[in-house]
């Protein structure tokens, strides 16, 4: 028996659990249960005890816990039992891609307290300070065509938006293609990476990662050079507990996987409804030049349709834009 077994019992219980119940469920003595409870308390876990009632959790864990998060998810869900947590990692996407190449199953989730080399799109870095955000990546192995797979970033933006709103009610907007905004600042960045089978060129796996800013204040962003660029849920008046937020996000991602790709019209309509880029002037780089156009629509494949002053239109399938 290890501490995770004890945590799984406590997290999954709806109230008090007696030492006798726990020892019977775990197949150990009550003294062994008491020893693990004592160690967990010393590590900061909020475990209450009563001589008549037993033990119970009185609050969330002091650090990320796979056992606690598993207890918040449906036992038969895609991610159940496949969650891993780590104190520090260069990038959750990088680490999970290595696990995927080694054969990790679909639904594997990796969460980290911090990323020392968090990555965004086009080689950009993503600030991931310890304990101040939710940094996670999920592994999927969808059996679809490459063309369908290339729309998955748009689907993921809808899913992460849904998960954040379910957790705390924040009205998050989507900035094309893969950023989430709250107020006037960037709240979340999403990075989708895929691998193809060398022999056939067919999709092998997809890793979807995201970093959601939770508790940073203005001085934190100033120190990171992100003042006026980024925001956090706390700065905007929202304070969800990390495991609750992660559970809501994973639930939304599970819904997305079940819907993909059959319900594209539904996800596309929701993407368009919450896309804050539409109706704005945007700038983007092309052949070393900065071009300016109006964001008119999101295409059926989640590309951005822009219009120039002379009335011509074009479609941007990838890249980075700035809203003016």
- Residues 169-224: tens digit of each pLDDT: 999 999 999 999 999 999 999 999 999 987 777 889 999 999 999 999 999 999 88
Q: Which of 46, 109, 114, 118 is nearest to 78 (CA)?
A: 109
Judged by average pLDDT, the poorest of 23-27, 103-107, 119-123, 259-263 is 119-123
Judged by average pLDDT, the poorest of 194-208, 262-276, 310-324 is 194-208
| Assigned token pair, 93 | 């996407």
Q: Are 151 and 261 in contact (CB under 8 A)?
A: yes
pLDDT at 123: 63
pLDDT at 246: 97
Residue 3 has pLDDT above 90, yes or no: no
Please tell me which residue, 49 or 13, carries the higher pLDDT value: 49
Helices and strands: H and E segment counts in the chain: 10, 14
pLDDT at 108: 98
pLDDT at 88: 96
The answer for residues whose C-beta is within 8 angstroms of residue 26's C-beta and 6 or more apart is 1, 5, 6, 9, 32, 33
Rounded Cα distance between 305 and 298, Å, is 6
HSE at residue 269, side-chain half, CA atoms within 13 A, is 4
Rounded Cα distance between 114 and 179, Å, is 20
Burial status of residue 21 (CB atoms within 10 A of its CB: 0-12, 13-18, 19 or more): middle
Residue 15 has pLDDT above 70, yes or no: yes
pLDDT at 12: 79
Residue 14 has pLDDT above 90, yes or no: no
pLDDT at 7: 84
pLDDT at 198: 75
pLDDT tens digit string along 79-136? Answer: 999 999 999 999 999 999 999 999 999 999 999 999 998 887 666 777 888 989 999 9
Cα 82 to chain centroid, rounded: 15
Angle of helix 19-26 relative to helix 3-12, nearest 10 degrees, comes to: 120
pLDDT at 125: 72
């Amino acid at each position: 028996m290890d501490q995770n077994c004890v945590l799984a019992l406590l997290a999954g219980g709806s109230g008090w659990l007696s030492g006798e119940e726990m020892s019977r469920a775990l197949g150990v003595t009550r003294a062994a249960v008491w020893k693990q409870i004592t160690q967990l308390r010393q590590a900061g876990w909020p475990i209450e005890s009563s001589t008549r009632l037993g033990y119970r959790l009185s609050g969330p864990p002091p650090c990320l816990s796979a056992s606690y998060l598993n207890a918040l998810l449906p036992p038969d869900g895609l991610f159940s039992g496949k969650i891993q947590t780590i104190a520090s990692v260069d990038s959750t996407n990088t680490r999970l891609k290595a696990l995927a190449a080694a054969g990790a199953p679909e639904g594997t989730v990796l969460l980290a307290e911090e990323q020392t080399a968090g990555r965004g799109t086009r080689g950009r870095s993503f600030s991931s300070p310890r304990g101040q955000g939710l940094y996670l990546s999920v592994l999927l192995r969808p059996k679809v065509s490459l063309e369908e797979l290339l729309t998955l970033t748009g689907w993921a933006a809808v899913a992460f938006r849904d998960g954040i709103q379910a957790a705390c009610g924040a009205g998050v907007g989507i900035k094309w293609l893969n950023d989430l905004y709250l107020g006037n600042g960037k709240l979340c960045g999403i990075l989708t990476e895929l691998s193809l089978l060398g022999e056939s060129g067919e999709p092998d796996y997809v890793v979807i990662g995201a970093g959601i800013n939770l508790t940073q204040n203005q001085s934190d962003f100033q120190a990171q050079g992100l003042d006026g660029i980024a925001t956090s849920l706390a700065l905007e008046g929202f304070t969800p507990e990390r495991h609750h937020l992660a559970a809501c996000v994973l639930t939304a991602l599970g819904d997305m996987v079940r819907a993909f790709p059959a319900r594209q019209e539904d996800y596309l309509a929701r993407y368009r409804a919450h896309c804050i880029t539409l109706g704005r002037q945007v700038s983007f780089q092309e052949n070393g030049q900065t071009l300016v156009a109006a964001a008119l629509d999101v295409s059926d494949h989640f590309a951005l349709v822009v219009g120039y002053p002379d009335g011509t239109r074009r479609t941007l399938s990838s890249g980075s834009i700035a809203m003016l």
